[in-house]
Structure 1
């Protein structure tokens, strides 16, 4: 993969994102593709960053949190980045656990109301 470069269109297809999303990630400095005239080329670094961005979004991190986390690597290296990741992950795990508990309560309430309504029919 060292020589792999994807065009703008290929990058959108590979990651199943819209052109608008890809342009926005570039605008907020999450991605920095090589530019040749109007063409954009995404190398291994940008492909890896996009993988991390989408993974972070799936875990519920904001784009700003992801941007800051990626910036740590550039400024301070791997170890500080991993420590920042652990801190972010611990915080997000606690938030997801809280959301799961709230969903469990909502599901139990809805199920009880549904069962009550079903009995009345």
Structure 2
């Protein structure tokens, strides 16, 4: 069975050894120890797969607890259907969160565009020598 060092995994997945140690602290990875005093971590193909799944979950924006729960499910292949249903539920919840965030961002961008338009209008009026009266940024309307 092939094994990996922390440096090899860090290089392969373009992450820091510190990040790998963090995932170990979170119980996602569990390397064996070798060398004097057990200083050298030795990762198995199982650890490599768990790291790969963890990084994929992070790219999807899942929380570490969601990732750990999903990765742990794949340790026991007893009920694949239940695992898939759980994964679908997690993805659906995450999609809902992201769609709400997108809606919030779109509203903020529309508000920013309206303020930009108002600023440009006020600047144009000022450059044309028009009196702005009592208008101030953000106080009209």
- Band of TM-score, shorter chain: 0.7 to 0.9
Indicate conservation of the 8 Å contact 2:57/2:67, yes or no: yes
Aligned residues: 119
Residues 1:65 and 2:74 are matched in the alignment = no
Per-residue CA distance 1:76-105 (angstroms, 9 max, x = gap): 633322221011011111111111111111
Alpha-carbon deviation of 1:75?
4.1
Tell which deviates more after alignment, 41-50 or 21-30.
41-50
SS in structure 1 opposite 2:75? helix
* Higher-Rg member (1/2): 2
Task: Say which of 113, 116, 119 aligns to 2:115.
Answer: 113
SS in structure 1 opposite 2:74? helix
Indicate conservation of the 8 Å contact 2:54/2:71, yes or no: no
Structure 2: gaps spanning 5 or more residues: 124-141
Structure 1: gaps spanning 5 or more residues: none
Distance 1:63 1:89 in 2: 14
Report the equivalent of 2:134.
none
Alpha-carbon deviation of 1:115?
2.1
Task: Say which of 98, 102, 105 aligns to 1:103.
Answer: 105
Over aligned residue pairs, what C-alpha RMSD do you find? 1.8
Task: Say which of 3, 6, 20 aligns to 1:5.
Answer: 3
Distance 1:7 1:82 in 2: 31
